[in-house]
Structure 1
Amino acid sequence: MGGAAALLLALAAVAAALGCAAAEPPQQERSALQEFLAGTPHERALGWNASVPTCDWTGVRCDAANATVLELHLPGVGLIGRVAPGTLGGLQRLQVLSLRDNRLLGDIPSDLFGLTQLRKLYLQGNLLTGAIPAEVGRLASLEHLALSRNNLTGAIPFALNNLTKLRSLSLDGNSLSGSLPSLSIPRLQVFNVSYNDLNGSIPSSLARFPPESFAGNAQLCGEPLIDKPCQPPPPGVVVPSSKKKRKLSGAAVVAIAVGVGAAALLALVLLALCAVHRHRHAASGEEEVKATPPTRGLTPSTASGEMMGGDFTSSSKEISAAAAAAGGAAERSRLVFVGKQGPGQHHYSFDLEDLLRASAEVLGKGSLGTSYKAVLEEGTTVVVKRLRDVAAARREFAACVEAAAAAAAEHQNLVPLRGYYYSKDEKLLVVDYLPGGSLSARLHGSRGTGRTPMDWEARMRAALCATRGVAHLHTAHSLAHGNVKSSNLLLRPDPNAAALSDYCLHQLFPPAPARPGWSSGGYRAPELVDARRPTFRSDVYSLGVLFLEILTGKSPAHHASLDGADGAVDLPRWVQSVVREEWTAEVFDAELVRMGGSAEEEMVALLQVAMACVSTAPDTRPDAPEVVRMIEEIVGGHGRTTTEESEGTRGASEEERSRGPTP
């Protein structure tokens, strides 16, 4: 009897399972999907076959009972043209829609504004035009809205205030105009309207967001743009009206003419004196270099090997010798300034002579050469990198530096590259000086009494800034960084937190073969055999190692095996071995654990992102923009490891995940 009852229960379970498997969304939703795909041109076959259950179609996700479509993820699948009208509106219970990184044209589809349960809408990276309609305010459940990198115009609608659940709003990279509406959305954590045509003052309700959220809008002013205050004329200062033009008196005209003439004469005298001084200084420079080779006496006071921002204190005059080593070639070679110097950036006007006279101290020696902190007579401080073993000719060198400088000028997570000097004997780079030091020095510096540990929030900001900088190089300029590591991530006190240095310079140097199976310095991807040919995927691997360094507090370059075996094991493999043994808590930096707090979920989330980045198979690594989204989701979502966006990418496109050719 008992056996019969058990048999009946088993048959009931099988019947229930078959019933669930046979469940299908309503015909309305199935038809809406089919009409959308049929009416929207696309380059890639998605396999939406009538013989396959709707909930198994690529990018389609249903509820647990397969009774309704909840999510549609089709990022980067080659959708072209306008979205077929009257199609997506049939998915009334849709919660997540991702059509990012396609080539969709026309207005934002009006069908979407009737999807009242929509929580996440990702349309960035398309060719959408027109204005953002006020109807967007009807999407009361919306938490994430991404419309960046389109061709949208018009004003930002005040109706966005109706989206009281909104947590992220990305409108950057469009042609939006007018003033910013006063958006008072308490839950809003991520806000970006950079690189549009907005004007006027930034509302006080938005002043809490970092300056990069508003960058690239020449007519915007006010907090947090410290260098662009919206100030009225001071009391007592009369602004002249265009209708009342005062004529200068005859005496004033004569005085101005005399002053201009005197200034011109003084300028000619100064030019003549400078020419004589340059000739004498070049000659004395040759004699000094012959007597004292500049490559001696450059040993820093500590052996940490940090570049730009380390704790070195030894002063020297070697920067003068470095530039003067060109000798008589100084007449032929000169200091060349590169990159855009936009609003808020320091405009440099010094020359090679000023560098020769600058007081300098060694910051450190790295893989590219030696870095110096140079303080010019005018008070400006820069970093001069004296490159060694450069194999590039002058034209190739200039093109490489110009491309890197142009990329950095557009993004605050890349240290600005300001100029270069090229001669037969010396190659110098001039970059901005960031006094905060490097992430490596902050993580691995002296851990003695009195040291303030780097807290979790600061580490997460550093990770996000590094990833944003790499993503910008990849997506906006098709450039690989090629040298991502903690000593090249420089810290600063502002909300932007950190910026990457030593980017895109790999092609200047001769080939550097890697030892098979070993990551040089702990950051190099295992498939990379020539450091001169990094890929987007190898950059992502290096980012993953950087995340592990942030989490563990261990230096990838010096991490040794803990199991007593001979030799060293790289940081990713050590972390994998610890996690495999289910000792995940042992991975995290003891300093983080001692500080306590409620960051454990976020630490585990970043650990999972890091492990995806350091996958030994390059094609399975996420791309840099996807990693940015993952980390932003951790910061905004309190521990979720990936956004629906990243999951949608995995479900919709294997090809997209493997893209990223060698630049």
Structure 2
Amino acid sequence: MKNPKKLHFLVVVTITLVLQYLCVANGNLSSDAQALLEFASSVPHVRKLNWNSTLPICTSWVGITCNDEGTRVIAIHLPGHGLFGPIPKNSIGKLDALRILSLRSNFLNGTLPTDVLSLPSLQFLYLQNNDFSGDISTPLSPQLSILDLSFNSFSGNIPRTLNNLTRLTSLNLQFNSFTGPVPELNLTRLRFLNVSHNSLNGSIPSSLNEFPVSSFSGNSLCGPPLSACASSAPHYAPNSPGNKHNKKLSIGVIVAIAIGCFLLIVLLAVCLCCFLKKKDEDSVGELTVKAVPPGKNEKSDDFGSGVQAAEKNKLVFFEGSSYNFDLEDLLRASAEVLGKGSYGTAYKAILDESTTVVVKRVREIGVAKKDFEQHIEFVGRLGRHPNIVPLCAYYYSKDEKLLVYEYMITGSLSALLHGNRGIGRTPLDWETRVKISLGAAKGLSHIHSEGGSKFTHGNIKSSNILLSADFNGCISDLGLAPLMNFSPGKSRYIGYYAPEVFETQKFTQKSDVYSFGVLLLELLTGKSPLPSSGHDEVVDLPRWVRSVVREEWTAEVFDEELMKHPHVEEEMVQMLQIGLACVTRVPDMRPSMDEVVKMIGDLRSSDSEHRDSSEDNRSKGSNAQTP
């Protein structure tokens, strides 16, 4: 009888333990669900989460992943869901089994709750492209492997407690407002670091100088890999007492050296001026030009002295141009007005069945002929890029200045975006808008990088983004701004101009970035920053977008034509963040165009990886580092 009793006892104990385990597991999952519901009820969101207590959390809740046993929530993936406001305390922070938290590309703000940052099991934290603020002095989870807080408004010092994160492999803090020095980080597993575009200062710790320049740019930092820090002047002890003759001799030598240095500086300045003048003269000759032979009706060189010789006023083509016509052919061509802009009138000229060009008749040229020719020749070389409308030829006389461009058959971005919105309109889909923006960004980046630090476009707007047959965005009107007697305050295109342009009356590369940011907002919203028909008031597009985002009405920001396309919300939010970064009021806080190209390119590559899975991302028990 003892054996059956013993067996019965063991069965009872086993069943009791199993039931107890199931109760505890169910209780943990229930508490996780309750914490998530608390988060969903407190944080407004544009996209539906479909979180409902009547549905199984591990298989039906959007963006939620459970462990293999289905007993705990281990991952939250909600990128680009239009989440607004701060993260409430005692919500996500209660998920003590959470390993992955991805809330990137939303509109979350406020300070991060301490219970979120210190979750004991958290390994991957992706909060980039939000508007979080405050410092991050709170102890962080020691399990963290990837920490991405980029493109927010965090401030204060970068905490030295990051050294406690011995498993950290990636740290991204770029485009925030961190201050102070970069702390010494002795993290042997760290493979990626970016603290660029903050307000950091001081020298870069030796433990971090193997990271590239791009990891630290946009701050006031020095030391490898950036330029060396300015060393203090060496301290010399005062002259020891000696005979007076030596002291007087030293003063005489010093005076002689000072005079000699002054004369040497004057000589160097004269030599430098001569060198620069010669370089300017030589640079004109770098471009080989070919001229169309004089037509039979042109006057000879010895024509009356009061009339400019025809040889000096011929149509000049740039090397490599495939066109073969002269000025008379151009003037006889069938022409129609394409539009009147800030710098002149553009005509479509049809010379024959196979030759169509655009002729821009420019006005208010503020430079002499020689300066005009030098500048245009430089522009012709600079414009050899697939995302810049090619300048084919030019003509200059006292009374007429013409620029000849290739004809872009698809027209301008402005016409396609703001043209007929009635029945029969073919709307610009999201893929096309991204392609246009990336092409235009590459063109402007080329202008800035190859034109020199002071060379700008000065007139970025949607009507100056022309489209190829396959909808590649191309920059037009390159190099015209420096030639014009032009006042920004009198232009109807002031909606594209950066605030500092009105104060300085000058364009810079950073003001170009601002204009490009307005262009991105125009692509996203479908709204023009120009006065509409019957209205004189200019739309301040950046201010309007910020106000709508602040009032948590994101659905009102995006063009209604875009809202018809599924699975693009995340990309649209990311592009909105890029546009807002470009229109920051402080010029030095704006990214460079190289960085904008990279951000848009990363957006495209990120989308190809995540588009199909970003909606729910339910790979069971996955420890993947996918944000």
TM-score by length of 2: 0.51
Q: Secondary structure at the match of 1:514?
A: helix
Q: Secondary structure at the match of 1:372?
A: strand
* Counterparts in 2 of 1:488 and 1:327: CA distance versus 1, 3 Å: farther
Cα distance between partner residues in 2 of 1:456 and 1:580:
24
Cα deviations by residue, 1:342-361 (Å, 9 ceiling, x for unpaired)? xxxx5223222321232222
1:429 is matched with 403
2:390 is matched with 416
Q: Tell me which amino acid in the other structure corresponds to 2:515.
A: S
Give 1:523 shift.
0.3
Cα distance between partner residues in 2 of 1:543 and 1:23:
38
Give 1:378 shift.
7.6
Asked if 1:463 is matched to 2:437, the reply is: yes
Q: Is contact 1:551–1:603 with CA below 8 Å preserved after alignment?
A: yes
* Counterparts in 2 of 1:477 and 1:25: CA distance versus 1, 3 Å: farther
Q: Tell me which amino acid in the other structure corresponds to 2:506.
A: R
Give 1:640 shift.
11
1:486-635 to structure 2, matched below 5 A, reads: 486-494=462-470, 497-514=472-489, 520-529=493-502, 533-558=506-531, 567-593=537-563, 595-635=564-604
2:312 is matched with 332
Cα deviations by residue, 1:383-412 (Å, 9 ceiling, x for unpaired)? 110001111111111122122221111x21
Asked if 1:94 is matched to 2:114, the reply is: no
Cα deviations by residue, 1:413-464 (Å, 9 ceiling, x for unpaired)? 1111112111000011111111000000000111111111000000011111
Q: Is contact 1:524–1:541 with CA below 8 Å preserved after alignment?
A: yes
- How many correspondences in the alignment? 370
Which of structures 1 and 2 has the larger relative contact order (alpha carbons within 8 angstroms, sep 6+)? 2
Q: Is contact 2:495–2:530 with CA below 8 Å preserved after alignment?
A: yes
Cα deviations by residue, 1:27-55 (Å, 9 ceiling, x for unpaired)? xxxxxxxxxxxxxxxxxxxxxxxxx99x7
1:448 is matched with 422
Cα deviations by residue, 1:217-259 (Å, 9 ceiling, x for unpaired)? xxxxxxxxxxxxxxxxxxxxxxxxxxxxxxxxxxxxxxxxxxx
Segments of structure 2 that go 5 or more residues without pairing to the other structure are 1-113, 121-136, 144-155, 175-184, 198-207, 216-291, 611-627
Q: Secondary structure at the match of 2:316?
A: strand
* Counterparts in 2 of 1:424 and 1:561: CA distance versus 1, 3 Å: closer
Give 1:332 shift.
2.7
1:37 is matched with none
Give 1:275 shift.
5.6
Q: Is contact 1:506–1:532 with CA below 8 Å preserved after alignment?
A: no
Asked if 1:404 is matched to 2:374, the reply is: no
Give 1:590 shift.
1.1
Give 1:100 shift.
11
Cα distance between partner residues in 1 of 2:584 and 2:437:
18
1:290-439 to structure 2, matched below 5 A, reads: 330-338=310-318, 341=320, 347-377=322-352, 379-409=354-384, 411-439=385-413
Q: Is contact 2:430–2:568 with CA below 8 Å preserved after alignment?
A: yes
2:27 is matched with none
* Counterparts in 2 of 1:622 and 1:639: CA distance versus 1, 3 Å: farther
* Counterparts in 2 of 1:276 and 1:538: CA distance versus 1, 3 Å: closer
Give 1:71 shift.
3.2
Q: Is contact 2:350–2:357 with CA below 8 Å preserved after alignment?
A: yes
Q: RMSD of aligned C-alpha atoms?
A: 4.5
* Counterparts in 2 of 1:477 and 1:73: CA distance versus 1, 3 Å: farther
Q: Tell me which amino acid in the other structure corresponds to 1:371.
A: A
1:136 is matched with none
* Counterparts in 2 of 1:560 and 1:384: CA distance versus 1, 3 Å: closer
* Counterparts in 2 of 1:532 and 1:431: CA distance versus 1, 3 Å: farther
Cα distance between partner residues in 2 of 1:474 and 1:530:
22
1:483 is matched with 459
Q: Is contact 1:98–1:123 with CA below 8 Å preserved after alignment?
A: no
Q: Is contact 2:340–2:346 with CA below 8 Å preserved after alignment?
A: yes
Cα distance between partner residues in 2 of 1:531 and 1:432:
34
Asked if 1:67 is matched to 2:166, the reply is: yes
Q: Is contact 1:523–1:542 with CA below 8 Å preserved after alignment?
A: yes
Give 1:504 shift.
2.1
* Counterparts in 2 of 1:70 and 1:357: CA distance versus 1, 3 Å: same
Q: Tell me which amino acid in the other structure corresponds to 2:169.
A: L
Give 1:600 shift.
0.7
Q: Tell me which amino acid in the other structure corresponds to 1:637.
A: S
Q: Tell me which amino acid in the other structure corresponds to 1:578.
A: V
Q: Is contact 1:528–1:534 with CA below 8 Å preserved after alignment?
A: yes
Q: Secondary structure at the match of 1:590?
A: coil
Q: Secondary structure at the match of 1:557?
A: coil
Q: Secondary structure at the match of 1:277?
A: coil
Q: Tell me which amino acid in the other structure corresponds to 1:613.
A: C
Q: Secondary structure at the match of 1:332?
A: helix
Identity %: 47
Give 1:276 shift.
4.1
Give 1:91 shift.
6.1
Cα distance between partner residues in 2 of 1:540 and 1:507:
17
TM-score by length of 1: 0.49
Q: Is contact 2:166–2:188 with CA below 8 Å preserved after alignment?
A: no
Q: Tell me which amino acid in the other structure corresponds to 1:523.
A: Y
Q: Tell me which amino acid in the other structure corresponds to 1:510.
A: N
Q: Is contact 1:25–1:68 with CA below 8 Å preserved after alignment?
A: yes
Give the counterpart of 2:298 among 259, 271, 278. 278
Q: Tell me which amino acid in the other structure corresponds to 2:548.
A: V
Cα distance between partner residues in 2 of 1:365 and 1:278:
30
Give 1:615 shift.
1.3
Cα distance between partner residues in 2 of 1:633 and 1:524:
27
Cα distance between partner residues in 2 of 1:405 and 1:419:
9
Q: Tell me which amino acid in the other structure corresponds to 1:96.
A: F
Q: Is contact 1:74–1:100 with CA below 8 Å preserved after alignment?
A: yes
Q: Is contact 1:467–1:628 with CA below 8 Å preserved after alignment?
A: yes
2:53 is matched with none
Q: Secondary structure at the match of 2:499?
A: coil
Q: Is contact 1:604–1:639 with CA below 8 Å preserved after alignment?
A: no
Give 1:550 shift.
0.4
* Counterparts in 2 of 1:568 and 1:361: CA distance versus 1, 3 Å: closer
Cα distance between partner residues in 2 of 1:592 and 1:22:
42
Q: Tell me which amino acid in the other structure corresponds to 1:583.
A: W
Q: Is contact 1:468–1:628 with CA below 8 Å preserved after alignment?
A: yes
* Counterparts in 2 of 1:335 and 1:598: CA distance versus 1, 3 Å: same
Q: Secondary structure at the match of 1:596?
A: coil
